[in-house]
Every structure is written in structure tokens, then in C-alpha cells.
Amino acid sequence: MSKNKSSESVKVVVRCRPLSRKEESSGPAGGIVQMDLRLGQVILRNPRAPPSEPQKTFTFDAVYDANSKQRELYDESVRPLIDSVLAGFNGTIFAYGQTGTGKTYTMQGAWLDPEKRGVIPNAFDHVFTHISRSQSDKQYLVRASYLEIYLEEIRDLLDPNHTNARGLELRENPDTGVYVQDLTSCVCKSIKEIEEVMNVGNQARAVGATDMNEHSSRSHALFLITVECSQPGPDGRKHIRVGRLNLVDLAGSERQAKTGVQGERLKEAAKINLSLSALGNVISALADGRSGHVPYRDSKLTRLLQDSLGGNAKTVMVATLGPAPQHYDETLTTLRYANRAKNIQNQPRVNEDPKDALLREFQREIARLRAQLNYRKWRSKQKNEQMEGESWDGDREKETEGEEDEEVEKEAEEYVKLEEQRLEREKEAIRGDEYMVAEEKQRLLGEKERMMVDLRKEQEATEQLTAKYKAMESKLLVGGKNIIDHTNEQQKMLEMKRQEIAEQTRNEREIQQQMLAQDEETLELRETFTSLQQEVEAKTKKLKKLYTKLQCIKAEIKDVNDEHVKSRQELEQTQNELTRELKFKYLIIENFIPPEEKNKIMNRLIFDPEEDQWKFQPLVPAERSMKKRPASAVGYKRPLSQYARVAIAMGGHSRYRVSVAVKWDYSGLATSSPGCPNLMVYLSFSQLDNRNNL
């Protein structure tokens, strides 16, 4: 891995959706959010405050109002991140906001409408277009995975039985960071294939209806794209760079009074709010910079985003807002979280030659299969030329790989046909030989039949090897090949112009923000007064401005305190509910479970630090298998003892051999008990000298 220690802050952009028909008809006229696209500012008005109260202003990297287009957001804010992923960095894009504010629309959009395609489909197009335009000496491997966090359980959306399967577990690797164990990964060779993977996962994702959103996401979804690139380096060796792109669609925060959810939907909302609260705590701890502990382990969502927030990744956060007056509190909370996230510093670095690169394994397997095919080709050529009486020329020029593969197939087919014809001619010659004995004819014909069978087996093995080689090679994408529809030069120029415009817009916004900050600092130094009255007016104006700032800070402190009190009350309510449930379970344990059974259960409990929860030990440890009944020895009716095994190992000396003969005698039935035969046992010894010693 590269040792680049440069850090960069999380990029935060804000998007506001338009008012819905329901909001326009039910609430007061007008929205509470104003956007200054030129300066990247969001101005929030409190609908419950008097007109004299100053409005709240937040500044971000970019802002997009209700009239913004999907393509504008992607070109200005997301495209540079995708370029970094293709260069070998880790990247994360996640949408954060209240339910029903357009997170899923921003991330996915309308797939069939080119103007309304979201971040994810545009990222697919970007990745595969870049591969098709890259140099031919580069090889790519693209993999995709899709998961969701539902009720704090990680589910694989690409697994057909994910609803019945147990939740996947999180693991941590010192080199690659946090990962999901046994997560399905699909190799994708085109936009169509990766879109199919996305559609399969979307059909399995948990979605439900609430009063605020008919298609509300009931889980956090994460679509992971891994792009591996192999390219020759200055030293002549092939070096691999791996970029990982996390596309996160978070479920929205909810309040039961507004969403009207009950039953299972209420449980889902509680888990969603809990994980989003943990995400907010992580953002606050990282933005503060003074906290030594960052609570990543409070939820699975924060564990998965551990590298994206303060780690090895470049991150873009899209905060979505609702402009309706009745959602003022949620909008203010979202803006505060987004404002804190700007202060998070990440340490991104290029992932060069990682140990878990799958592309290198594919290249080794392809090289091995190619060597086997070349050997078969050489052997078939040698046999063919020997049959025709020609000498094999080993100094022929090397053809291209594609022509080689086609020649291997053609020559293999021709060789099989010629061999079959030759064997048929020899069989006819044997049958037509009148001077040969019949037995000799049968033997020779049998040999020819066996040769035909061996020939067919060799042909089948070659076909299987060729098919396996082609399947492995087809998974790799080579730069310069048309893996998507042909893009003409005008479209390429149009894309380049669009990128230049987006870059220019970003630079203008940054310069204007810097100029605004510098003007406020240097205004007092540049001011000169011609009279005392003019100085008094200027000082009064400045005093009013400072007083306005003071009022804003006081209002901000009051809002933060109110929010803290509200959060504390919610936590206390949750604590009371959990305490009541815990007491109820303790009551059941004390009155209905015997003490010895309770002790057994307590002794089996262990704490798993990876999952941060208590688990039961298995009744039978995996390393200690239960004792099995000894199996009977081969040829014996019962198991052999250790003494018998030792005796067998020492050999069969005649001194220790004894034969037991059991004979049933029915001759004395009259004097014996009825139905009971006389049992006569005869012992015969091989050595006659031992008879007197018995």
C-alpha cells in the first residue's frame, strides 16, 4: 500500500426536493429552505419564530435546489470520486436525511429515463466507459455485491434464501479493513450485467408504505463495486490497483407521530433511528477531534462505514432536505449533522498490489490453462505431421493469442477427423486380410476400438479445457475493446466539455466562498472615515451585525439544548421500556426455570467482541468430537481389543495359536434337559508337547 499521509475532508453536498401535492394542500404556503447555488449556502427559516428572528445559514461544498437535474449533481460532485476509485482509491457515496426527502431517487432515480438516472446507474456507465477507452495493456476485473441492514442484521440481497438464512457476520482485516464474511460477489463484464445484479437485489430489498412515503426503505442498503486493474509498471512487472466503491442508500429517520407506523413497521423504525443515531454520534466524535474514542461498534452501519468516516476512503455525503414547514425540526437536524461532517478528515491512499486481489488469481489460472492448451496443440501438431511424414518446425513465428485459440480448436478437430479416418482404414484392412487368423483379427480390432475411445476422450478433455479457458478469460475486461455501445468522437468531446464546465463551477464556488470570508476579515482594515459621524454610523452598523450574530448563536445554543433534552427524554423512555421488559423476563426466569437449568445456561454464555454481543457456546465443542463406538475390523465379527492388535502385530507364532471348535451334540437328548443340546468344546493345539501342561 502507498504510504501517502495526505488527508482530505469529507465532501458534503445538500439537495432539496420540491413540495409535494399533499404538503402544498395541507401546510402553509411556501417553503422554509432557500438555496444560494453561487455561494453553496442553505438558508433555513423557522416557521414558528417571529419575523425579527434571524434565519440560519449553512455553507457546504455544493447545494442543489428543487430545479436541479440528476446529471448536474453527478458531474459536479460524484464524477471526481469515481475517477479516484478507478485510480485505486476507496470511495463512498451515501445519502442522509429524513424519510421521504428523495434519498433513493438521488441514488437510483428512474433507470429508463436518461435525464432522471441517479448516482448508481451513472456510476455504472462511468466505470465501463472508462474501461472501454483505456489502453489495451490494461486488464480489469469488476465485481459487485449487494447487502442490506434490516433490523440490525446483515442480509445478502443476492442470496436467493436470504430471508431464511442467518445474518452475515462482520470481520476485520488489518490490510483491507472491515468486511462481511461469506458475502456473494458477482463478476460483471458489462453495464447490462451489473444492472441485472442491482435489479435482483432491489426485488429482495425490504420496502414498506408509511404516511410520509408510499415506498419507504425499511433497511440500509449498500452496493459494493470492486474494480481491479492490472497494468505493466516501469520495472516490467504487472502491478494491480484495487478500488472499492460503496454506494449507500440509507433509510430515513422517522417519527412515529408523523409516519403513523405500527407493529412490525414500528420495530423497523426503532432500529433505523437507533443506527442513524449511532451514525450521528460517530460524525460528532470525528468532527470534534478531541474525543479519543469513536463509537464505531454501536451499530453495524457504523462498522461498515468505518473506513469511509475517518479512514482510508474518499467520501461524498449527500444530505437531502424537505422544504415543508411541518418538517422544520428534521431539516434542521439534517443540516447540523451535514455541517459537522464537513470537519471529518480521511486519509485516502492508493491500494497497490493488495493480498486479496482476485485479478492475479484469474491471471495465473488463465496462464495455466493456456499452457495446457499450447501443449495439446503442440502434441496434436506433432502427431499430425508424423502421420503425414513431415518434420515439425519449432521455429515458426508466434501468432496472436486470439488466432492461436482459433487454430487450436481447428487443428484439434482436423486431427480427430484424420485419426478417425486412419483408424477406420486400418480396421477395414484388418477385416479384409484373408491370411490373418480370426483371433488375431479380433485382438487387433479391439485395440483399434480402444484407440478410438481414447481419441474421443482426449477430444472431450480438450473441449472442456478450451471452454474453461474461454470462461476464465471472458471475465477479464481489456482496455480498448468495445464492451459497451460504440461512442463516437462527438460524444467524447461533449463529455469532456461537461467535465470542464463542472470543474469550472466548483472552482468558482470555492473562490467566491474564500473571497466572502476574506472580505469579512479585512473590511475593518480597509475602512477610512472622513468624519466622526461616518465612523459612528459604521460602528453602529457593525454592532448591529455582531448583535445579530450573537442572537443567532444564542438561538443555536437554545436549539441544541432543546434537541439534547428531547434526545435524552427519548433515550430515557427507551431505557424504561427495556428495563420493564428485562424485569418481566427476570420474573419468568425466577419462577419458571429451575436453578440448575439456569446455571447451565449461564455457564454456556460467552461474549463475542467482534459482534459485540453475548452468544451461547455449543453443547459439544467443535474440537472435541464425541467418542464413537469402535468399528469392526475387516473380516471380523466384533471389534478388536488393544491386546489383540498387539498380538496381530507381533506375528502368528505357533505356540500361541489355538483353535476353538464348537460342536452341538443331539445324541443325548433323552438324559438332558428337554430342548437343550449337549455342548461339547474341543481344543486342539498345534504343539503336542504342551498337552501335559494344561
Top-confidence residue, 672 or 272: 272
Helical (H) or strand (E) element with 8? strand 8-9
Task: For residue 584, name the pLDDT band (cuts at 50, 70, 90).
Answer: very high
Q: Averaged over 222-250, what is the pLDDT?
A: 87
Task: For residue 415, name the pLDDT band (cuts at 50, 70, 90).
Answer: low
Top-confidence residue, 211 or 154: 154
55-59, 104-108, 252-256, range with the lowest pLDDT? 252-256
Top-confidence residue, 69 or 377: 69
User: Is the distance from CB of 312 to CB of 293 less than 8 angstroms?
Assistant: no
Query: For residue 668, is pLDDT > 60?
Result: no
Domain ranges of the chain: 8-357
Query: For residue 561, is pLDDT > 80?
Result: yes
In the three-class reduction of DSSP (H, G, I as helix; E, B as strand; rest coil), residue 503 is classed as helix
Residues placed in the known binding site: 97-104
Q: Which three cell numbers stand for residue 580?
A: 420493564
Average pLDDT, the chain: 76
Task: For residue 443, name the pLDDT band (cuts at 50, 70, 90).
Answer: confident
pLDDT score at 41: 92
Task: For residue 377, name the pLDDT band (cuts at 50, 70, 90).
Answer: low
Query: For residue 172, is pLDDT > 60?
Result: yes
Query: For residue 391, is pLDDT > 60?
Result: no
pLDDT score at 653: 57
Task: For residue 434, name the pLDDT band (cuts at 50, 70, 90).
Answer: low
Provide the Cα torsion 544, 548, 551, 555; round to 10°: 170
Cα dihedral sign, 606-611-613-617:
negative
pLDDT tens digits along 105-161: 999 888 888 889 999 999 999 999 888 888 878 888 899 999 999 888 899 999 887
Query: For residue 69, is pLDDT > 70?
Result: yes
Largest CA distance in the chain: 153
Percent of the chain with pLDDT over 90: 17
Q: Averaged over 570-589, what is the pLDDT?
A: 85
78-87, 137-146, 490-499, 598-607, range with the lowest pLDDT? 490-499
Q: Averaged over 550-568, what is the pLDDT?
A: 82
- Among the four given CATH numbers 3.40.850.10, 3.40.190.10, 3.10.290.10, 3.40.50.920, the one describing domain 8-357: 3.40.850.10
Top-confidence residue, 296 or 484: 296
DSSP code string of 282-346: HHHHHHHS--S---GGGSHHHHHTTTTTTSSSEEEEEEEE---GGGHHHHHHHHHHHHHHTT-EE
Query: For residue 486, is pLDDT > 80?
Result: no
pLDDT score at 672: 41
Residues placed in the known binding site for ATP: 97-104
